[in-house]
Each structure stands twice: as C-alpha cells, then as structure tokens.
Amino acid sequence: MGISNETQRPRAIVHVDMDAFFAAVEVLDDPSLAGLPLVVGGGEARGVVCSASYEARAFGVKSAQPVATARRLCPGAVFLPVRHRRYAEVSRQVFAILAEFSPLVEPVSVDEAFLDLTGCERLFGPAAKAAAQIRRRIAEEVGITASAGIAINKLCAKVASDLCKPNGLLEVPPGTEAEFLAPLPLSRLWGAGPAAQKELAKLGITTIGALARADAAWVEKRFGKWGASMHAHARGIDPRPVRPPAAARSVGKEETFDADLYELARAHNKLLSLCGRVARRLRKKQARGKTVTLKVKYADFVQITRSATLEHPTDDAGEIYRACRALLARTQVGSRPVRLLGVTVSSLHAPGMAEQKGLFDQGLSQRASRLNAAIDAIADRWGDHSILPAALVDEED
C-alpha cells in the first residue's frame, strides 16, 4: 500500500507571540500611555522588569532586568506594577481565539503558544492565511498586536516570530529551514546557551550555519547527547510535536519580598495569604491535593523545602495553612532573614476521587465549602488581596 498524500504533507506549525504583552495591556486600558516608554515590573528594591514597551527597549530596557537598572537606563519611563489578574483575563481571550483554529494548541507562557494547523487548509486556507486571520482577530477583538512565525517545526516557527516582531508575520518555506537559520547568531538557537556559545566561539563557530557544517560526531563528543540535539537544531531539524497541556500536577504560589522577613509573625501572615491563593486556584481547577510543600529561600539565597502528606485531599486554605505552619516550625524562619516563601499543593485529585470522610468531617467540610464559596465570590470581584487572612482559618496566631 502506498503512502497517502495526508501522510506526506509537511507540518504547518505556527508560533503566535503577543508583542510586549504586559505593556500592551496597560496601553489597552489607558490609551494615554501609547507611544511612551513603559516598564511593567516589581518593587523598586528587588523587582525585575516583566515587560517593556518597544519605546523603552530602545533605551536598553529588557525583561528580567532589575527595575533599578531600568530606571537608570530610562529615567523618563512610566513604571507600573504588575497586574497578573488583568493579564490572565486578556490571555484567556487570546487563547479562546487560538482554540478556534486548532485543537492542538500548546501554551508556552501567558502570551505565546504553538499551534499545529496541519490539515486545516480546507477550513482556513494555507497556514500563512490562517495566521493572518489569527493576528487580525486578536487585534480587532482583544485590542493588542501579535507576531507569528510559520514553519514545518517548532524551532523555526519560534525563531521566525522573534525575527518579525513587533506586529509581523514571517513564513519559512518547507525545505529552507537550514538556509533560514544559517546566518543567524548562535544565541537564536535552542540549546545553545551562553556557556556553549562561548566555547564554540573559541573555535570560530559563531553562527548557526557554522555549527551545522561542523562534524556531528565531534559536536556530540564535545557536548554529549545535548550536543547531538543542538547540531540537529542547527540543521533545522526539530521533530517535536505540538502538545496541548496535560492536567496540572501541582498548584503553587510563591512571593519574593522587597525587604527580608525577620519576624515569625510576619512570616505567618505571608504564609496565610499564600495558602489562601493556592486554595483558590485549586478550587478553580476543581482539584484537591494531599501533599503540601513549603519553600523557603533565606536572604543568603540558601533554599530549602519541607513537605507533608495530609490524611485527605483538600482545597481548603485553613488545612493547607495548618500544614504549612507545622512545616515552618522545622525551618529557621524567625531566627534567620527570609527572602522568599512559597506554598505548593500536589498529589492532586479530581472531584469524586476524594476519600470518604466520616459524618462529623462531612459537616465540617460543608461549613468550609460555604466559607470558601464566599471567599471566592469576594476574590472574583475585588481580587485575591481583598480576602482577609483571618477569614481563612479558625485558629489564632
């Protein structure tokens, strides 16, 4: 039996990436910010830049840069705090549009995703036409711009979208992957980190094409299995499929503090807030978890974790908090300055999978469910930070 045309058809992978997403949402909500150098980030002392408009980037401001550095580079920029709830709301609008074009959508982050449009030509036309429709709908229905790269694999689609930013569309024709990548610097290649780039530069290999022309056996011997993958990528080979996200295996939240925590009471308050937010996320996912993990990073960057397994799966902040309090007692919090606290709940159970409880426990569970429903209603309207920590537990510090 011969191979069908469907089997032989090249893949059509699209990488869609919002342009300066957080900054773009701020402009969407306040049009007077349009055209200004805009920086979205954390606090002054230890915050980092989460997003910068292209006007700010012209001054050298970039993501993951300390906010203090960004202020020195661009003192005239408008600095705004991060609004995660608002960005998540806009992100959901974008992903709802993407889901209309393919069931195979793989989120990379809140503002970018891969789509596999292979076989969708009868519905939307060629991949380039479909990508143009996606970008147009995002602009018209959401009010922000997106760039898109099209190729037969994820690697080249991602590089293409990066190269055509902002607000661009770039297609890599099938069969031209190696040619497309060849003149680009190694920094554009997945897997070629700073250490590898430095070592390869010593050998005169500074472009993707130069790496592709190097002997494959030599590259693998020099860098191991990772080197073999890197060499394949340099030749434009990337067989990885677009994978929709699997069910979450854990739910967590952590916070890095602008100033170190010294007092145990303050750590309890911060922990209580984190537990409330984790519990709320669990309920949104309609999941409960049995394993509670506490993460502590001290001021000297030493990091530890402590875990405990509950008797029953839970989505209740009070239960999670009580477990975390016990774990906190096994740390040096209170006698050693703390830079970060984090709470994660894992070993998740879907509704109906929870273990059977006794009659008395069921009564308490119903009471907790009513309280949690009230908390969720308040948070939906006013935000997570509107929840009073005292509402989450029945004990006093």
Compute the distance between CA of residue 299 and CA of residue 260 in angstroms, rounded to an integer: 7
pLDDT of residue 366: 52
Q: What angle do CA 41, 284, 350 make, to 5 degrees?
A: 130
| Edge-to-edge order in the sheet of strand 112-116 | 105-109, 112-116, 13-18, 146-151, 169-171
Task: Say whether 112 is catalytic.
Answer: yes
Task: Give the domains, in start order, of the chain with CATH numbers.
Answer: 8-174 (3.30.70.270), 177-234 (1.10.150.20), 250-392 (3.30.1490.100)
- Sequence-separated (6 or more) residues with CB below 8 Å from residue 35: 55
Average of pLDDT values for 49-78?
93
Give me the catalytic one of 112, 171, 177, 319.
Answer: 112
| DSSP string across 290-319 | EEEEEEEEETTS-EEEEEEEEEEEE--HHH
pLDDT of residue 161: 97
**Residue range 246-286, pLDDT digits in tens:** 767 889 999 999 899 999 999 999 999 999 999 999 988 88
* Residue 329: other Cβ atoms inside 10 A: 11
pLDDT of residue 47: 81
**Residue range 165-219, pLDDT digits in tens:** 999 999 999 999 999 999 999 999 988 888 889 989 998 999 999 999 999 999 8
In angstroms, what CA-CA distances link 318 with 118, 254, 359? 48, 17, 20
What is the 8-class DSSP label of residue 250?
A: E
Global pTM reads: 0.67
**Residue range 294-322, pLDDT digits in tens:** 999 999 989 999 999 998 899 999 999 99
pLDDT of residue 382: 46
In this structure, are strands 169-171 and 146-151 parallel, antiparallel, or unpaired?
Answer: parallel
Beta strands in the chain (DSSP E): 13-18, 38-41, 49-52, 78-81, 105-109, 112-116, 146-151, 169-171, 250-261, 288-298, 303-314, 338-349
